[in-house]
Structure 1
């Protein structure tokens, strides 16, 4: 059964489709002025990297601290014991555990968005790498999720820190806010994400790291962003 779309939906989607390239400011204006659905869509970013002779897998990995958050409530799990486990609970972690949490994950129960671990717990959680790795949520020093600074890390994640890693085709994708955000907030989130991706550039890559950047909403077409450095 096909879904009937309103005339306004079709017009707004067509308006976006006509814009092939635009500055970040004009692209944000276009998305906000041509909403295609009633719910608050996420603004998605796709960054195409310069992979040169690399295969692309594992090419880029890091985190971005979006100054205005993502608009989503993030559920954080922390692997810790003793005082660090207590600290995690007091800092607002949604789930705190060690061997019990590891067993749950082995059994396929994964009900969190981000995982954090103290360094001492890393040897224990290695056995669940095959579960968390493919989801992109295995604690990793490069994404700031292996740390003894539990309180600060949880605060950062809850406040808008997002992890990213490139896919095999050397593309980094993430949600950087909601369409309901102000233009200024979306633009500053966009700029911070681009800075973070550039910082993740491996030494093996020479010259420009980012080739192309596209923005899109959850249900709509994309716009290529001009003048990305």
Structure 2
């Protein structure tokens, strides 16, 4: 069993005493946890990322029960992503004007083959997949490979770039049936955080596989980078 620091033991005791709470209470608790630390324990010095974790009643081994997608949350996630676009012709100027940090074709592919991945999301137009396809071994394990399902293979590069720069997030159920997604920063006010979580939960419900049996959303918790999760009542 991993050794827990004094900080984490203290925060866990605060959370465990609450049990399961409604979403607004969970967010309020998360934002106030740092303030419960005694003076002897150093407080976190950076703006923590807030994530939601959901345990789903699906079997990820079945192809028709894989829950995945992407969403632009109502209030963003507090971070602008660095976007790379594989395109050519008129789309080069369009992608650049939309705010993409890196735009090009074979020259970018060659750079990536050397190990360069200094970007957060890769977008490609369909006519560039011949160049992008061989990069799967580099980009795939890092979750950066463009894909039609995620909306990163598209002819509308301007819309895609603007969405990802605004904080569009992607997610996919893991082998244990869990989905994790960034929903903002701890510095956000309570209402924007609650609305981001509600929007994500609504989207997850809409993605329920037809073959999923029994209870679909089984457990929900929200947590920050340096805090334990607060369990949210089933919604």
User: Structure 1 length normalisation: TM-score?
Assistant: 0.88
Runs of 5+ unmatched residues, structure 2: 35-42
**Residues 118 and 49 of structure 1: CA distance in aligned 2, closer, same or farther (over 3 Å):** same
C-alpha contact (below 8 Å) 1:66/1:193 kept by paired residues:
yes
Cα-to-partner distance string for 1:98-148 (whole Å, 9 max, x where unaligned) = 111111211111011111111111232111112212222211122111111
Q: Which residue of 2 aligns with 1:25?
A: 24
Q: CA deviation at 1:3?
A: 11
Task: Tell me by how many angstroms 1:17 deviates.
Answer: 3.7
- Distance in 1 separating the partners of 2:214 and 2:93: 46
Rounded Cα–Cα distance in structure 1 between residues aligned with 2:131 and 2:151: 18
Q: Quote the RMSD (CA, aligned, Å).
A: 2.3
Give the structure 2 partner of residue 214 of structure 1.
221
The residue that corresponds to 1:70 in the other structure is: 77
Matched, 1:85 2:92: yes
- Secondary structure of the equivalent of 1:84? helix
Question: Helix, strand or coil for the counterpart of 1:143?
Answer: coil
Q: Are 1:166 and 2:165 an aligned pair?
A: no
1:195 is the counterpart of 2:224: no
The more displaced of 190-199 and 215-224 is 190-199
CA contact (8 A) 2:11 2:228 kept: no
SS at match of 1:34: helix
Q: 2:159 aligns with which of 136, 152, 160?
A: 152
Paired residues in the alignment total 224
Q: What does residue range 119-158 of structure 1 map to in structure 2 within 5 Å?
A: 119-158=126-165
Distance 1:147 1:163 in 2: 16
How does the TM-score come out when normalised to structure 2? 0.86
Indicate the residue corresponding to 1:113 in structure 2. 120
* SS of alignment partner, residue 72 of structure 1: coil
User: What is the deviation of 1:227?
Assistant: 2.3
Once residues 5 and 223 of structure 1 are traced to their aligned partners in structure 2, the CA distance between those partners, rounded to angstroms, is: 18
- Partners in 1 of 2:226 and 2:52 — Cα distance? 13
CA distance in 2, matches of 1:133, 1:209: 28
For 1:94 and 1:199, the matched residues in 2 are separated by 33
Answer yes or no: is the 8 Å Cα contact 2:30–2:230 preserved in 1. Answer: no
1:56–1:170: 8 Å Cα contact kept in structure 2? no
Counterpart in the other structure of 1:50: 57
Counterparts of 1:91-102 in structure 2, within 5 Å, are 91-102=98-109
Residues 12 and 166 of structure 1: CA distance in aligned 2, closer, same or farther (over 3 Å): closer
